[in-house]
A and B are shown apart, each in its own frame.
Chain A
Amino acid sequence: MVKRIIAKQEACMGCGLCEVYCTVQHSKSKDIVKAYNQETPRAISRVRLEMNKPVSFAIQCRHCEDAPCAQACLTGAMHRDEETGLVTHNKDKCMGCWTCVMVCPYGAIKIDKEGHIIAKCDQCNELDTPVCVANCPNGALQCKEVKP
């Protein structure tokens, strides 16, 4: 089974804490104060709060079955990890060509301009529950197990 993060639009208040926790989780220190005040460049949130009031919901990589980003990747950096079933980005191979950005229908691939590479959701691989899901105050993000 593979995890998918599902957004519940009705429950989303648009607070943006998902972005904050994602930034902290992907920072060097994993400390909120240091991540925001001391680390430059600041770590990139892999989740984006999409807002057009009253509509709001968070979006991150959908780990698409037929992932256009992985197919289009010029270097093989974007690929499906056979063990986890997740679309995974190898930052050592990424050459920042932005081809994946062009073909992602969700605009879910972030640009790390400083590093000249991309950044995307890894579902907080080392944790049981992704931080955006664990810290959503209104339960607007949930994890579901789906068939790969």
Chain B
Amino acid sequence: MPKYVIVGACAAGVGAVEAIREVDPVGDITVISEETCPTYSRPMISDYVSGKAALSKMKTRDDQFWQKNTVQALTGKKAVRLNTSERTIALDTGDQVSYEKLLIATGGKPFIPKMEGTDKDGVFTFTTYSDAERLAAKIDAIHAQKVVVIGAGLIGISVTEALVKRCIAVTLVELQEKILSLLLDPKASEIVENAVRNEGVNIVTGQSVQRIVGKPANEGVVGGVVLTKGEQIPCDLVIIAIGVVPRTDLVVGTEVKTNRGIVVDSSMRTNLPDVYAGGDVAEAYDFILNQNRLLPLWPLAVLEGKIAGYNMAGKKTDYAGGTNMSTLKYFGIPIVSIGLANPKEDPALEILVKHDAENNVYKKLVLKDNVVVGMTFLNDIERAGIFFHLMKNRINVKKFKQDLLADNFGLASLPESLRKKMNLSE
């Protein structure tokens, strides 16, 4: 009987368990997870801090998930050493687990820049439920009134909104000239920036935090930050939300090949025959850039885990790939951004833009050789998925290009041949 071992119980780990069980109902599955709480949604932890959701609402699978899938879940344990020739994993408890097929789904860890003061009491990162729990408890305990958030990406914006909902004064510091610069072009970013400012957030762009300083009465406790240009901003807490880096520690010193993350092929297999990787730790395929890269996004992690699971269980499946694709729900502006949404100037790219200032609707499409390779929709996003379909299937839009940004553009605007392919009507 095959023996599957999965390190990590987050998105990719859960996806893999489900896929393995689809193919192999009886093989032994062991999951090793440092976290003890049930499988929950990491992108949603800001809703815990804002008070909108309890852990029960954030659970992505029910509490019997491990039992239902007959998984041996080793929770609260850390995989510390991988021996690929013996096919064993050593745990921090001293135990050893042997595998026939291994999935490394260890995820990412917050990137903490080298600067003075990150060890002070009151400095947080924000990627796990326990981060959220500790942050919420700290806010209550010290009645935090001022917080500095470093980094205005997805995580930074999400935690900023949660803090605003708790009536905390936030200063959001972003090194780039614009917030959400990996997802939005300057115009879209400006629209969001205005909405964030309207909620009272102090946004500082083009600067970073040089060091975190202590309170005059107690140097060990956060009292403020000093920005690159020297300005000091007093605060009670600092949240570092600059990004995540792959947690590759487990494969360091082994034969498993890494670049920035673990290198995998289209079956999510590493360079070793029985070792797979998926999720934030792996460099999976980007169908827009046509290359493998780090894409630390939840839905992609689930899919990558699923593909790995199928292949581990013997069902040959190729990963079609993902791309930089995100939705945002914060500050009252629904956003969908996919692919090359904010490309550098390039004569090969054609850009279609529509801005309806009255309704605060902004739509942008980026085309290359008549194929949509990037998009950003703000506020009017209901039909965004149709465009994602066009992107994923590299559909040539030349014939209906002029209709793409029309208000009533929808499935009926697609050519008949495509509608037939999509089985839309008889």
Contact = CB atoms under 8 A, between A and B. Distances in A.
Interface of A: 6-10, 12, 48, 50-52, 55-57, 59, 62, 71-76, 92-93, 95-99, 101-111, 113, 116
Contacts of B426: 6-10
29 contacts: A9-B424, A9-B426, A10-B426, A52-B403, A52-B408, A52-B413, A57-B411, A57-B412, A59-B424, A71-B303, A74-B41, A74-B60, A74-B298, A74-B299, A95-B47, A97-B43, A98-B334, A101-B334, A101-B384, A102-B327, A102-B336, A102-B338, A102-B388, A103-B385, A104-B385, A106-B385, A107-B384, A109-B385, A111-B381
Contact of A103 (B15, B299, B403, B424): B299
B106 to A, nearest CB: 20
B412 A72 contact: no
Interface residues of B, number: 44
Interface string B100-139: 0000000000000000000000000000000000000000
B25 interface: no
User: By CB atoms of chain B within 10 A, which of A48, A50, A55, A108 has the most?
Assistant: A50
Contact of B422 (A71, A102, A106): A106
Contacts of B408: 51-52
Contacts of B302: 71-72
Interface in B368-426: 381-386, 388-389, 403, 408, 410-413, 422-426
B158 to A, nearest CB: 10
B53 interface: yes
Which of A8, A75, A108, A111 has the most chain B CB within a 10 Å cutoff?
A75
A109 B382 contact: yes
Nearest to B40: A75
A38 B60 CA distance: 36
B336 A6 contact: no
B388 to A, nearest CB: 6
B285 to A, nearest CB: 17
A101 B382 contact: yes
Interface of B: 15, 41, 43-44, 47, 52-53, 57-61, 298-299, 302-303, 306, 325, 327-329, 334-336, 338, 381-386, 388-389, 403, 408, 410-413, 422-426
Contact of B424 (A7, A71, A75, A109): A7
Contacts of B299: 71-72, 74, 99, 103
A108 B424 CA distance: 11
Nearest to A51: B412
Nearest to A113: B334
Nearest to A7: B425
Q: Which of B44, B299, B381, B384 has the most CB of A within 10 A?
A: B299
A101 to B, nearest CB: 6
Contacts of B57: 75, 92-93, 95
A105 B410 contact: no
Contacts of A73: 60
A15 B378 CA distance: 29
B425 A9 contact: yes
A97 B408 CA distance: 24
Contacts of B43: 74, 97
B382 to A, nearest CB: 6
Given A72-B299, A102-B384, A50 B338 contact: no
Contacts of B41: 74-76, 95
A76 B411 contact: no
Contacts of B413: 52
Contact of B53 (A6, A76, A95, A101): A95
Contacts of A74: 41, 43-44, 60, 298-299
